């Protein structure tokens, strides 16, 4: 597929999507994400751009914030354990380059775990262009100062929840729990700080193939599983208890096989929605 990419993307995309749903082989994951996202094309269109950005010193305002965040990203992963190690250095390079590439946006803390996951699978230049695609194509507006895009998607998620789990929807509405309170980290970090690692990778495989709808479906699955029955809601008598429950999602609901299966169930419930 990778060796004849344009043909697969244009003529056999359904087959490609099914392969991504089954999981991309680890040895090919970085290259596949780069291709799926359009990062490869972006890199080829801007062949020396990353090197130019990398050679610049960057805005001290953003560099100071980024440097404070470096050690918080996957601190137990061998790439990022050492302060000032090659993983943290590459993370700084990628995030600094983005602030120079989009100075009107600058840096958002949620970009750091995204960039870190990418760096675990590809070189810094590829990670940079894939990050650009995530910020511009997959999650546009998510990392802007006003966060209008995430607020809008929170409203959409809440509306979709009414169809998927009326019980959970009524509970959240009753307690006036705004969606941005529980879904912001899920969506902005593409679940990289929420799910077990195997589940993160499978969700990202589908995310790069199908877009933000995958993030919506995973969010809906978690809300339905945690708040979708009267039995579960007995322990949730208010806002605080509900938020605590959503911060401590049961491990069984986050397992790879369960999430993928429930993702398909959720899709079937949503197929009657136009353009979903």
pLDDT tens column, 19-52: 889 999 999 999 999 999 999 999 999 999 999 9
C-beta separation of 138 from 211 below 8 A: yes
Q: How far apart are alpha carbons 100 and 25 in whole angstroms?
A: 33
The pLDDT value recorded for residue 272 is 61
Among candidate residues 45, 16, 54, 56, the one with its CA nearest the CA of residue 32: 16
Secondary structure (3-state) at 2:
helix
| Tokens coding 197 | 């690692």
Domains defined along the chain, listed by start: 28-138 (1.10.8.270), 148-270 (1.10.472.80)
Angle, vertex CA 47, rays to CA 61 and CA 99, nearest 5: 10
pLDDT tens column, 142-201: 998 888 999 999 999 999 999 999 999 999 999 999 999 999 999 999 999 999 999 999
Q: How far apart are alpha carbons 218 and 169 in whole angstroms?
A: 16
pLDDT band for position 270 (cuts 50, 70, 90)? confident
Q: How far apart are alpha carbons 147 and 186 in whole angstroms?
A: 14
pLDDT tens column, 115-137: 999 999 999 999 999 999 999 99
C-beta separation of 166 from 145 below 8 A: no
C-beta separation of 67 from 112 below 8 A: no
Phi, psi of 139, rounded to the nearest 5 degrees? -130, 55
Averaged pLDDT score across all residues of the chain = 92
C-beta separation of 139 from 99 below 8 A: no
| Tokens coding 133 | 């695609």
164 DSSP 8-state letter: H
pLDDT tens column, 59-78: 999 999 999 999 999 999 99
> Which sign, positive or negative, has the C-alpha torsion 201, 245, 170, 180?
negative
**What number is the average pLDDT over the span 85-102?**
96
pLDDT tens column, 215-226: 999 999 999 999
The pLDDT value recorded for residue 273 is 54
| Tokens coding 233 | 């809601």
- What share of the chain in percent tops pLDDT 70? 98
Name the pTM for this structure.
0.93
CA atoms within 13 A on the CB side of 209: 22
Helix axis angle, 256-270 relative to 197-210, nearest 10°?
A: 30
**What number is the average pLDDT over the span 237-264?**
93
Does residue 257 have a pLDDT over 90?
yes
**What number is the average pLDDT over the span 98-115?**
96
């Amino acid at each position: 597929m990778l060796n004849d990419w344009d043909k697969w993307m244009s003529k056999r995309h359904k087959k490609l999507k099914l392969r991504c749903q089954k999981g991309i082989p680890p040895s090919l994951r970085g290259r596949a994400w780069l291709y799926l996202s359009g990062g490869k094309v972006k890199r080829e269109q801007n062949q020396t751009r990353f090197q130019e950005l990398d050679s610049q010193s960057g805005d001290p305002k953003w560099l100071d914030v980024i440097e404070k965040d470096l050690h918080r990203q996957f601190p137990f992963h061998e790439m990022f354990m050492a302060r000032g190690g090659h993983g943290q250095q590459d993370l700084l390079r990628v995030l600094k380059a983005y602030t120079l590439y989009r100075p009107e946006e600058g840096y958002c803390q949620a970009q750091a775990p995204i960039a870190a996951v990418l760096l675990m699978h590809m070189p810094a230049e590829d990670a940079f262009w894939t990050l650009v695609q995530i910020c511009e194509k997959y999650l546009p507006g998510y990392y802007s100062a006003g966060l209008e895009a995430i607020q809008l998607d929170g409203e959409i998620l809440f509306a979709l929840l009414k169809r998927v789990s009326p019980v959970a929807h009524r509970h959240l509405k009753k307690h006036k729990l705004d969606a941005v309170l529980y879904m912001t980290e899920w969506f902005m970090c593409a679940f990289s700080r929420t799910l077990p690692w195997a589940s993160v990778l499978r969700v990202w495989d589908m995310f790069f193939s199908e877009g933000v709808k995958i993030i919506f479906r995973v969010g809906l699955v978690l809300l339905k599983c945690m708040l979708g029955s009267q039995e579960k809601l007995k322990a949730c008598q208010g806002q605080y208890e509900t938020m605590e429950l959503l911060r401590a999602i049961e491990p069984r609901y986050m397992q790879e096989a369960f999430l993928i299966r429930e993702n398909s169930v959720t899709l079937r419930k949503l197929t009657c929605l136009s353009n979903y």
